[in-house]
Structure 1
Amino acid sequence: MQQPAPFDRLLQIMDDLREKCPWDRKQTLQSLRQLTIEEMYELTDAISEQDWPNIREELGDVLLHLVFYAKIASEQQQFNMTDVINGICEKLIVRHPHIYGDVKADTDEEVKRNWEKIKLKEGKKSVLAGVPASLPALVKSMRLQEKSKQVGFEWDNTEQVYAKLEEELHELKDAVAAGIQDGIEDELGDVLFSLVNYARFINVDAENALERTNKKFIRRFQQIENLAAEKGTTLSEMSLDAMNALWDEVKRTEKASRP
């Protein structure tokens, strides 16, 4: 018997699972939600590591979740996978008039501006409406800034952004001196928001930069744990000066090993 096309095969397997598997039959939109978030993080981890075999596997897991949601929706007589696919096809055509219409857009910035204008015409009340409320704060700040940029709410140059960052740092220092916790939190938030903005202006993804430092810290910290163990001790038994000495040793070793 001829094997069905891969996507049709996946849809058929989902039908079988919903009919015959007690676990799959029990799932709802709500029960799958957190699992989907976990799958997305696993995919982003694989992308961060440029682990192509794992990226392929995690894309499959994410695709399974999309099919799962569409199957549940079809059981509730809301929509099916065909409706989902047709919906995104129509959206892409409408939002790319420079491809499927007579609008001119030669740069990615022009494309993004047109995209936001079309979304407002579709009924969005704010250019910020498309930023999910549950996004992690750092990613959300980047998306808010990118969205507001599309209507011209943007600094002219990097120097202005850096000056704003310095201004916010001074305000944070004043707030710390005043000792009012709410004020300190507000000003620290302003510093972080300004730093994310500065990162955009120097073409750095703040989320990726911070994650890179997280991984560097984990790597170096685990190395000083190993060095302490080789000396027959643990970090908790060492002074801060001794730990800093090991940290500097790790940094020197890393620097010397670079090409």
Structure 2
Amino acid sequence: MSPKSRLYTLVKAWKNKPFHEVRDVSGEPWLGLSSAALEEHQSWSKRQAISNEPIFNQQGTKLSGALFRPLLSSDDTQLLRMFMEGLDNISYWYRSGRFIPGILPLPAHAIASSKFVDGLSDLVLNSRLPVGLVSIGVHQYDKPECINSSKEGLLRLRRLGILVHLLNFSGSTAQMHVFTEIEPDGVHIDISQLRNTHNLIELNTLSKQIKSEIYACNITLVKDIENAIAIGASHSYGGLMMPPVSRHQMLHISDSRIAKAIFSLHPHKNQNGDM
């Protein structure tokens, strides 16, 4: 058989071969991808999910952290897996040369479980991340029994160098009790509740008693930035600052551009002291 006829036979056999189409979970076709390549692509796509909310210092001149939002809506069976994904994001930034602290939200009742804390401890130790890069954001802590039963778990996590934040802090009597009991490293205040002047005055007075760093969250209006400054917030985040981004996009956030955008939104003094 001549080379020409052999090539003809191969092409004809390939043309007549039944067509097999590879589809992803949603049913969309991925032509030409093997199952291994498809799995790798889906894994890559998952890592690019818009799940990290950037946190900036109050002047907007520095990216000071990121809140991993998927953990806020995870049920108890998903918490460890999502916590591991949040740790993976922080490790990715660290390996890329960016020291971006990550805040991983967890409900208070989960930290009350010693087995759950065992799992968290193993994940943190295996990540080998420097102290100070991992924080947990405690939420759903309004019931006194929740925080009392989780104090031991919080102590164990702190021994590993994990920082503790209180999310959704409003200064209520129950929350102030929790604040006194665990002495968090940071408290996150929903700045939208300060659009009421009475609330602003109350929280402004309260902020002077708080030794922890104050994070102003849910900033969506220019007035919110002014209120955050009024209560002495050290950090701010929300839609007006920057909406959530993927872990890869987080690496390319330009601090100087953010600062320029923030300060263009409200009056500020020039070098001569004029507005």
**Higher share of residues assigned strand:** 2
Higher helix share: 1
Band the TM-score falls in, shorter-chain normalisation: under 0.3
- TM-score of the two chains, using structure 1 as the length reference: 0.26
Q: Considering Cα pairs closer than 8 Å and 6+ residues apart, tell me whether 1 or 2 has the greater RCO.
A: 2
